[in-house]
Structure 1
């Protein structure tokens, strides 16, 4: 009866074990996934989940919508998130070393016993003759192995797994900022190229006006044919520039869709950005910004956690030279079709001491120590690059601000020069070269102003990324 109950319980527990894992338990009994963000677009320290994009076709996507889409759908964020969840599983594996392992081994056999045969056939007399009876055996054995102590090796492995998970979380955060900056850059690039195309169209219209004026003067004999030909050439060049900028604008839309994890031909309905007037940064804040970046940069925090994980790996490798102490036990039940059931059990302590491992442990320690040096060097290199990243982004931002101020003055001056040159040419006091040069200067000035405006916005986001604080608060609002 005991055997039947044991066999029935094993069969009944099989579906649960198959659905929940070989341990017959919950998918995450140690709750390790709680140490990771709940979505690929969410910072592991953030409270809100950005994966809530409005898919209404009549809704124009704001920059916030664009960033949400990028954070939740870009393959880079999903890859970093999956890696963090993988490392959470490694933490669970390390924690499992603190629990015993219980194994059920079961054998079922059928045999015949005989004194004169290797087939072990049993001869049983009944009446006047002899007969053989088969013997059925069912032998379940439950074994227990519980590691009690291994001189810090188990603790070091858990610490290494936890620090690696911490590094993965920080890497995920750094990836979020990288993807966020790429989305912001692509978003601004769409409107920068569209504005450039509009400026090119204005230049084309101005070139057409100059061409008409030159042709009229040629028709009345007030100008040479060379004026009309030069004006025609300039108009053709302006038309070519307009076509190129329109193509760049279409490419920018496809690049934005790609940054959002969408197909390049996805029809985007994007709301225009808020364009604040550039302001200057204070030179006295540069050193403070560099020190802030060293505290805020998620990639630097990830590198630091990686160093700590490598230090724990050295401890775990050194524990390989030391013994381990385990509690072992087993219980077996031997049931046969003959009335001769038996039971057996064993419990005891086991000490395992590695006397010689073929120098495996020696090289494990050496490899772990060298890997630690690699991680330390990577951290030092990244720490040095942080100051350069902040310095470069800071200077480029100030340069963009100064360029915007100069471009505003240049546009105003070039506009006046073009109007004067056009008036003089129509009145017969100017020449076509002066007019075309004035138009070209005005066109270049408008383009420089557009580029300076969007370059400043992009550089402002890049400085925030260099500081490690690029988030939704970095987005300009009205």
Structure 2
């Protein structure tokens, strides 16, 4: 009979040794990918980027660098791994505990002394707890789901921020080109006014006005160059480098021929509510809170435990060996209303999580609505700004030709040049807005990933 506990211990312990003691519950596999589950395809294609490419930096490469180097991606990934390990802690409650103890005592009396040595091996196993461990595992699993969804939401926010910074840096460089073109036009106007003044067919006022316009254009170009340098510094910082890091940007990508996207707003909102990771995180938090209510209730219920193990003792040369096995029923009769208030607290926390879930759900609808309307406006502005630049360029050419021919005034020429410079800047802003709001709409729908940086598909924002 005394060998029965030892045999029982071996049958319990062997599966654990066979499964591996490093991670018997496979919690490492539960943790999401280091970057984000939604970006798994891209992660599988290329290693995490840590250095600037030798060629001009594209938007896709900028996002790679931002996600790989940003401390917040490491933070949320580590948080997810913490919660995955806590799932293992919860599942460990289903397994028995095996404890070894040993003692040695020397007794001293007037007529002599003797030694006592003892050892014991004890198996304890909680057999029945009326749902306490199940609720604990469910709570840990839902918190892991929430951590994974939070990681995905954080990565999408960083993705959008990297794109915004990259597109802004591109726009500031385009503004330098526009300002340089405006300066060139202003210099040409000044040269024309100076030539007419030198032959006596223009007034000094014409020459001074043209010179003032040239100086203003030069000042605008200098300011644009400063903004471009600041834009590159901000981009370098977003990518995890020092602000003075030299970065060469790729040219602005060609916009798709057809900019229209045909989707009903209601359908987009419904899709967003099904895909948004922050809403998934809120849902998981609510389920975890509901599991906490079950856990609090179960903590006030009876438990049945098994205890078994061999023992050995040597006392004054007398050796005794034995073993024991037994069941223990623990029935909490009165706990000072501890269980009652724990259940109330857990239920109130579940109500908090439900309210947070509903608030996020409403916010998602607003996010999609705003992003959709902003992208619609940006799309219309992009088309109109192209017509505006074309007409402004033609107007400037006509005004310059008329002034050189002596049938136009310098004010007409300077006004046309100013309108052209303004039209070019509006075109640059429209392109920036379209790129940013397109990414913003994708992020508001929970669909921001690397496919956005590929050629736009029909019907995709």
Say yes or no: TM over 0.5: yes
- The two structures have a TM-score, normalised by structure 2, of 0.87
Gaps of 5+ in 2: 1-18, 457-461
Q: Which has the higher contact order (CA 8 A, sep 6+)?
A: 2
Cα shift at 1:194: 0.7
Residue in structure 2 matched with residue 73 of structure 1 by the alignment: 69
1:59-70 pair list within 5 angstroms? 59-70=55-66
Residue in structure 2 matched with residue 16 of structure 1 by the alignment: none
Residue in structure 1 matched with residue 14 of structure 2 by the alignment: none
Contact kept in structure 1, 2:173 and 2:228, CA below 8 Å:
yes
CA distance in 1, matches of 2:197, 2:147: 73
CA distance in 1, matches of 2:424, 2:432: 13
Cα shift at 1:55: 4.5
Contact kept in structure 1, 2:39 and 2:449, CA below 8 Å:
no
Gaps of 5+ in 1: 1-23, 116-121, 124-132
Contact kept in structure 1, 2:117 and 2:313, CA below 8 Å:
yes
Residue in structure 1 matched with residue 21 of structure 2 by the alignment: 26
Cα shift at 1:44: 8.1
Cα shift at 1:48: 4.4
Which residue among 244, 260, 264 is the counterpart of 2:239? 260
Residue in structure 1 matched with residue 438 of structure 2 by the alignment: 460
Cα shift at 1:72: 2.1
Are residues 1:103 and 2:99 paired? yes
CA distance in 2, matches of 1:425, 1:269: 40
Contact kept in structure 2, 1:37 and 1:43, CA below 8 Å:
no
Are residues 1:348 and 2:343 paired? no
Q: Which moved more, 1:461-470 or 1:154-163?
A: 461-470
Residue in structure 1 matched with residue 425 of structure 2 by the alignment: 447
In the superposition, relative to structure 1, how do residues 54 and 365 fare at CA in structure 2: closer, same or farther (>3 Å)?
Answer: closer
1:139-178 pair list within 5 angstroms? 139-178=118-157
Are residues 1:244 and 2:223 paired? yes
Contact kept in structure 2, 1:278 and 1:404, CA below 8 Å:
no
Which residue among 207, 211, 226 is the counterpart of 2:186? 207
Contact kept in structure 2, 1:167 and 1:306, CA below 8 Å:
yes
Please, what is the CA RMSD of the aligned residues?
2.5
CA distance in 1, matches of 2:37, 2:51: 19
In the superposition, relative to structure 1, how do residues 326 and 199 fare at CA in structure 2: closer, same or farther (>3 Å)?
Answer: same
Q: Which moved more, 1:265-274 or 1:168-177?
A: 265-274
Q: Which moved more, 1:319-328 or 1:205-214?
A: 205-214
Cα shift at 1:313: 0.7
Residue in structure 2 matched with residue 192 of structure 1 by the alignment: 171
CA distance in 2, matches of 1:300, 1:366: 25
Q: Which moved more, 1:238-247 or 1:154-163?
A: 238-247
In the superposition, relative to structure 1, how do residues 472 and 437 fare at CA in structure 2: closer, same or farther (>3 Å)?
Answer: same
**CA displacement 1:164-208 (0-9 Å, x = unmatched):** 111111121222222222222222222111111110111112122
In the superposition, relative to structure 1, how do residues 89 and 406 fare at CA in structure 2: closer, same or farther (>3 Å)?
Answer: same
Determine helix, strand or coil for the equivalent of 1:321.
coil
Residue in structure 2 matched with residue 378 of structure 1 by the alignment: 356
CA distance in 2, matches of 1:453, 1:437: 24
Determine helix, strand or coil for the equivalent of 1:233.
helix
Cα shift at 1:274: 2.2
Determine helix, strand or coil for the equivalent of 2:47.
coil
Which residue among 362, 368, 390 is the counterpart of 2:346? 368
